[in-house]
Amino acid sequence: MKSLYLVDFDHTISKRDVWDSIIRMFAPDEWKEILDSYLRGDISSRICNIRLAKLIQPREEEARKMVYSIGIDPTFHHFVNWIEDKNVEMIIVSDGYDYYIDLLLQSEGLSYLTYFSNRMVWTDRGIEVEFPLYKQDCEKDMAHCKCQHVVEKEGARRVYIGDGVSDVCAATRCETIYAKRNLLDHCLKNHVPCTPFDDFHDVIRGEENFWNEVKSAEAVSPAVKNDE
């Protein structure tokens, strides 16, 4: 069975939301109302990111140290090994930024992993952001329209692993969802089938159960045909 695993980055792979941490440390208090507006659904992810980026102070060296201090969930390494053993496809889909994704993946020896994200460049004035994966026809006006990666793999079993508001649209188009935090809240509130998870060990256990059921069904199928 052809499968694709789509994995969010902030607070899914990383131990905390890195972009949120940068905002809290390097932006004045105006960020709070901007973020609240986004969480209420008053503004889109793209508009939210544009407004927040304008507030960031030019302190890249401090930001780099903070990014490294956050780190990634150690169980993600086990998940990557599991993916490679199963020989299935995985991509990282983030509404965050390449700046810190690169730093953390490189520091963990995982820079070979495929990811899609927004772009961030530090300047002497602060940061500049770009949204190369923005789609004008995106229903939610997301900075990074994650749905495009789901649609490209129609016909495959698509498994989404995430935690946030930016994951909702793409996740709900997938056959299987592993959810926590805001994504889990959305799924429960809207009766969307999902599996709660705390770390990637939970995902591995859930997927092992799925693949064992597939093997059992395949083993039974030839026997049924022979009886016929």
Show the tokens assigned to 159. 């498994």
Looking at residue 139, its pLDDT comes to: 86
Weakest mean pLDDT among 65-69, 82-86, 136-140: 136-140
**pTM, to two decimals:** 0.93
Task: Reply yes or no on whether the pLDDT at 226 is more than 60.
Answer: no
**pLDDT tens, residue by residue, 162-182:** 999 999 999 999 999 999 999
Looking at residue 42, its pLDDT comes to: 95
Please state the rounded mean pLDDT for residues 74-100.
98
Instruction: Please report the DSSP string for 73-90 in residue order.
Output: -THHHHHHHHHHHHT-EE
Task: Reply yes or no on whether the pLDDT at 222 is more than 70.
Answer: no
Please state the rounded mean pLDDT for residues 81-95.
98
Helices (H), 41-74: 45-53, 60-70
Instruction: Identify the CATH number of the domain in which residue 152 sits.
Output: 3.40.50.1000
Determine what percent of the chain falls in helix, strand and coil, rounding each to the nearest 5.
50, 20, 35
Looking at residue 224, its pLDDT comes to: 53
Looking at residue 227, its pLDDT comes to: 55
Q: What is the largest CA-CA distance in the chain?
A: 75
Structural domain for 152, as ranges: 3-227
Task: Reply yes or no on whether the pLDDT at 223 is more than 70.
Answer: no
**pLDDT tens, residue by residue, 178-207:** 999 999 999 999 999 999 999 999 999 999
Q: Percentage of residues in the chain with pLDDT exceeding 90? A: 90
Q: How many domains does the chain have?
A: 1
Looking at residue 43, its pLDDT comes to: 94
Looking at residue 15, its pLDDT comes to: 98
**pLDDT tens, residue by residue, 104-139:** 999 999 999 999 999 999 999 999 999 999 999 998
